[in-house]
Structure 1
Amino acid sequence: MIDATADGKTFKSIGLGLKKHNIPVLPPTKDHSLEIAERDGELDFGSTYGARLINLECVLMADDTTLDYHRRVAQVAALFNAKKGDIVFTFADLPGRRYIGRYAGTLDIEKILWDGELTIPIKMGEHPFPVSDERVTELTIIQSPQVVSVQSTGDERASPIIVLTNVGTANLQSFKIMNEYLLEG
């Protein structure tokens, strides 16, 4: 079994054992194109990524077939309640990554004596890529102009967040920020 957490709670604590997680390599693409009458082909406006769907194949383990089993089912329902919105998932075999999503689909449990087997569908809608720990280097620029290179250890291009703080008493009359991207050829 794979150690996992959902919303900070371990799967084991509610009697869930994660057998495997099916996480697609990339989210599906959404192609943006337009067909024009009497013109061959279509105009291609590029593509974006859609929501990523992952499936968590689990076994629900109970101490008895009635009270404990139904208590465990209720705990699973409470933890994965879609009304809670997005929650954070972590998996021991994918260290340093957090997957943000919510339960989306149906949750059928196939009961086998004391236990049950189920697949929990999770939709990573707003955040289709996992979030990882980044190394952040804080830097104070003492004289200007100065070029500062910022490198991210993530695997998806992201824009940096730049915060300017005036620690002096005088008002700033002007400032200039240039954000240039290195184009790969």
Structure 2
Amino acid sequence: MSTVGAALYERRLPVLPDVEDNTLKLAERDGVLDFGATYGPRTLTLTFEITSSAADFNATVSALARTFNSRRGVLALEFADMPDKKWRCVYAGTLQLGATGSRLIDVQLRMNDPWPTSAQDTELHEYGDGLAFGDGYFYTDHSFAITAPGQTFTVNNAGSNDVGPLIRITGAFTNLSLTDGYGTLTLTGSTTGTDVIEIDCATDKQTVKKNGVNAYAMSNRVFPLLLPGDTEFTVTGAAVNVRIEFVFRYKYLY
């Protein structure tokens, strides 16, 4: 922000989003019925101090308006004291200056998905991919070669929140199943060594594609979620010779 003549003066960042209770009041009955609770969006307020000269004051305000206006869509914010997390926000509210002569300006933001995510995802990158030091990628241990039925592997979710991964299965199998001890994802049919199956388990997606084409009918409509920590999977099927990759960003409560 210093390049446009502003500095972060104050940050109001709730530790958790507001809770939205789902309750029902019945006539002639004390209390309420509790149907659980969900988190609402997380609201952020950033206060910037305009550090530019009086001559450049309006230019700095204009630059802030270009940076934070709603037409920009989703903004991925990073804070210097939390460099490995991205806070994905949209502009919500009024870009408001203080009283006449004030150099403080408030920016109202809203996280529709209230959870910050890791700066990088877990997709496999190999030496020779053209990555440079500092690009923000790491060599992942979320990719597994499976050559026999009954083989197990463990996926680590280093975040503090559940996440729906993209499961990419490359290679040959017949009637493959993937079990985490709670549920079983089953893919019916056969693939060849060059086929790629992608199961997107994100709550707002839940799709199955084969070589980029809809293949939802192959699945039994089970989409695993990764809890924080380690999850062990067991693979069963016939003629299994695949690589299974879990691609996701860690999600954090804060």
With the length of structure 2 as denominator, give the TM-score of the two structures.
0.59
How far apart, in 2, do the equivalents of 1:102 and 1:16 lie?
20
Partner of 2:169: 164
The residue that corresponds to 2:64 in the other structure is 76
Gaps of at least 5 residues in structure 2 are 123-139, 183-226, 228-254
Q: Quick one: distance in 1 between partners of 2:52 and 2:81?
A: 25
What residue in structure 2 maps to residue 129 of structure 1?
115
Q: Secondary structure at the match of 1:129?
A: coil
- 8 Å contact 2:87–2:117 — kept in the other structure? yes
Which runs of structure 2 are paired with 1:20-169 in the superposition (5 Å)? Answer: 20-65=10-55, 68-110=56-98, 116-125=103-112, 127-133=113-119, 136-137=140-141, 138-166=143-171, 168=172
Range with greater deviation from structure 2 (172-181 or 53-62): 172-181
Taking the aligned partners of 2:47 and 2:62, their CA distance within structure 1 comes to 18
User: Helix, strand or coil: the match of 2:37?
Assistant: strand
Deviation at 1:165, TM superposition (A): 2.0
> Deviation per CA, 1:153-179, whole angstroms, max 9, x where unpaired?
11112233322222x4xxx43111223
Aligned to 1:176: 177
Query: For 1:120-170, what per-residue CA distance to the aligned partner results, in whole angstroms no more than 9, with x for missing partners?
Result: 111111x2011114663121112121222211111112233322222x4xx
Q: Cα deviations across residues 61-83 of structure 1 (Å, max 9, x unaligned)? A: 22234xx2111111111110112
Secondary structure of the 1:78 match is helix
Letter in 2 for 1:75: A
Deviations 1:2-37 (A, max 9, x none): xxxxxxxxx112111002212111111111111222
Question: Which sits farther off after the overlay, 33-42 or 93-102?
Answer: 33-42
Count of aligned pairs: 164
Q: Larger % of strand: which?
A: 2
- Spell out structure 1 runs of 4+ moving beyond 6 A: none
AA matched with 1:121: Q
Letter in 2 for 1:149: T
Q: CA–CA distance in 2 between the matches of 1:141 and 1:132? A: 27
Note the aligned Cα RMSD (angstroms).
Answer: 2.1
Percent identity at matched positions? 30
CA spacing shift, 1:173–1:139, aligned 2, 3 Å: closer
Structure 1 length normalisation: TM-score?
0.79
Aligned equivalents of 2:12 and 2:111: distance in 1? 13
